Amino acid sequence: MSDRPRFLIVDGHSVIFAWPELRAMHARRTAQARDLLVKRLTGYQDYSGVRVVAVFDGKGDSLSEETIPGGIQIFYSPLGCTADTVIERLVALYSSKCEITVATSDRMEQQTIHTLGADWVSSDQLLPLIESAEKDLGRVLTEQRKQKQVF
């Protein structure tokens, strides 16, 4: 096991369009689908200890970043730049210092980030990882509640 920090970089729209629940929600309310993805990724970060970065295609003039205390890091690409470009830059900058896995279904992106030194999982493969962490957390919380009831 490496001592390097572990990061999961998520291609936000790739995941939204791969997960049926989020894809259906996105058709009605784009922001709501994005918010639910961020919520689930935050839970994954909290349970797994892996730092999570979500990258979305943006509409602004410059790269913007949001970080809610205790939450995940969120980037929006600037106008004329794609989320893929932002992800590639992050991987190029940090793959020598950190263990990075990128979640995307874009085959070209998978090849590029692998060449830059990161691992990848498809958006479909990310869902069971998130669900497993959610179930594990649920079991831990249930056990803690049971232990509190004993006293």
Segment 103-136, tens digit of pLDDT: 999 999 999 999 999 999 999 999 999 999 888 8
Query: Dihedrals φ, ψ of 54, to 5°?
Result: -105, 135
Secondary structure of residue 120 in the 3-state scheme: strand
What average pLDDT does the segment 30-51 reach?
Answer: 93
Q: Residue 150 pLDDT > 70, yes or no? A: no
Domains in the chain, start-ordered, CATH in brackets? 6-150 (3.40.50)
47/103: higher pLDDT: 103
Region of poorest pLDDT, from 35-44, 62-71, 82-91, 132-141: 62-71
75 — pLDDT class (breaks 50, 70, 90): very high
**Which residues, listed in sequence order, are joined to residue 64 by a DSSP beta bridge?**
76
